[in-house]
Amino acid sequence: MNAETPVCQLLQRQDEAYRGWLWVAPPRDAWLEQGDGSVLSGDHGVLHAWQACGRPAFGAFEIPPVLPPGAVLFWPKTHALGEWWLLTLCKVLPEGTPLQIVGENNGGIKRVLKVLAALGLGCRKRDSARRCSLFETRLGPVDIDPDAVWQRFEIEGLTVVSHPGVFGHGKLDAGTQLLLSQLPGTLPETGESILDMGCGDGILAAWLARRGAWVTAVDVNAFAVEATRRTLTANALEGQVVAGDVYSSLAGHRYDAVVSNPPFHQERAIDYGPAGRLIGEAPEHLVPGGQLVIVANAFLPYPDRLQAAFGNFEILADDRRFRVYRAFKR
């Protein structure tokens, strides 16, 4: 089987057998999923795909029970997240473990040289092709705790806990701010069952829980799931936090409202898939009279999707950059 993504195509042409290696934060690629070794990922979709193939799959905050002979780290677009992965691998894998780091050139992979040098780890370039580069090094002791990357900040009278790789890390996104400004007059004060889809750092979940809602928060990103749990705990609030790809982990439960600032990027590419499913499948997860309230960039083609799914919708706010939409299940 041939690799599908450029980074995996670069790896496939190496003379390394990669038997039993650990693949860290990889993209979806059937060459990997049906190959050898195990995966360590913060992406629920990737973990589910590997598990469906009967392959060993571990979440970002898990430690693989069997130490691998080597590891390949797929460098993410968020450099601080890449640094977290490096620090974590240095912490959990034995000193001297071979590590290869691969990424797209326009995603900042060449910055890895400076990052490794700052950590006192040697590095050499092994290969380049398909506008990607591959570096190799060996893991060593690093006197930096990976948990030091967690940040706490105050928003709307709430303490928010965030991690690199979480949407809006360390600040309140302008779209979410516009959405929050509309919720007081849109949702009842207490007692409703509300789904926060794509919960990020948990600011919406915490805001809703503080008002007395029964909140379920969902995100495909393990760092977002853990950040939301920590945000709720930091504010002494309760809520259910679930790892899942849109509605996949919700077992048919129906809600009084679904609230979201849905993503439309997958790494550097525009991807309407998750938002399209969020809108299109929302009526199946709402009680009669339940509402979907979302914020989105004004240029995104969501009105047609809302019309198709609900038959009607309204615009609650429009500041030219973002729009807040609401639709009711009839």
240, 253 contact by CB (below 8 A): no
Give the C-alpha separation, 116 to 179, whole Å. Answer: 40
Calpha distance 313→77 (Å, rounded): 35
d(Cα 121, Cα 93) in Å, to the nearest integer?
14
57 in a domain, yes or no? yes
pLDDT tens-digit readout, 164-204: 999 888 889 999 999 999 999 999 878 899 999 999 999 99
Per-residue pLDDT of 19-69, as tens digits, reads 999 999 999 999 999 999 999 999 999 999 999 999 999 999 999 999 999
Do residue 257 and residue 230 come from a single domain?
yes
Task: Provide the β-strand partners of residue 297.
Answer: 322
Q: Is there a single domain that holds both residue 138 and residue 157?
A: no
Q: Which amino acid does the sequence have at 65?
A: P
Pairing of strands 265-266, 269-270: antiparallel
Residue 190: predicted pLDDT:
80
pLDDT of residue 189: 79
Question: 107, 129, 146 — which closes off a domain?
Answer: 146
Tell me the β-bridge partners of 296. 323
| Residue ending a domain, choose from 118, 146, 174 | 146
SS3 of 27, please?
coil
- The three-state secondary structure class of 67 is coil
Examine the domain organization and report whether 166 and 268 are in the same domain.
yes
Same domain, 206 and 263: yes
Give 241-277 pLDDT, tens digit per residue. Answer: 999 999 999 987 899 999 999 876 444 445 567 889 9
Same-domain check for residues 131 and 165: no
Tell me if 37 is assigned to some domain: yes
Categorize the per-residue pLDDT at 1 as very low, low, confident or very high, splitting at 50, 70 and 90: confident
Q: What is the distance between the alpha carbons of residues 144 and 91, in angstroms, rounded to a whole number?
A: 9
Rounded Cα–Cα distance for residues 3 and 78 (Å):
24
CB atoms within 10 A of CB 279: 27
The predicted-structure confidence for 93-140, as pLDDT tens digits, reads as follows 999 999 999 999 998 898 999 999 999 999 999 999 999 999 999 999
3 state SS of 96: coil
* 294 CB-near residues (< 8 Å, 6+ apart): 179, 259, 260, 261, 262, 278, 279, 302, 324, 325
Percentage of the residues of the chain whose pLDDT score is greater than 70: 97
**Strands annotated E in 68-213:** 71-74, 98-104, 124-129, 132-138, 151-155, 158-162, 193-197
**Residue 114, in any domain of the structure:** yes
What is the Cα Rg of the chain in Å?
21
- Identify any residues that bridge with 327 across adjacent strands, giving them in sequence order: 292
Q: How far apart are CA 38 and CA 32, in angstroms?
A: 9
CATH code (residue 68):
3.40.50.150
Amino acid code (one letter) for 289: G
* Cα 141 from Cα 234, distance rounded (Å): 32
Question: Helix, strand, or coil here: 195?
Answer: strand
Query: If you average pLDDT over residues 75-92, what whole number do you get?
Result: 95
What pLDDT is stored for residue 271 in this prediction? 52
- φ, ψ dihedrals at 219, nearest 5°: -155, 150
Q: Which of 130, 146, 162 is the last residue of a domain?
A: 146
Looking at the domain assignment, is residue 1 inside a domain? no
Residue-number span of the structural domain to which 123 is assigned: 6-146
Helices (H) and strands (E) in the chain, counts: 10, 18
The pTM of the full predicted model, rounded to 2 decimals, is 0.93
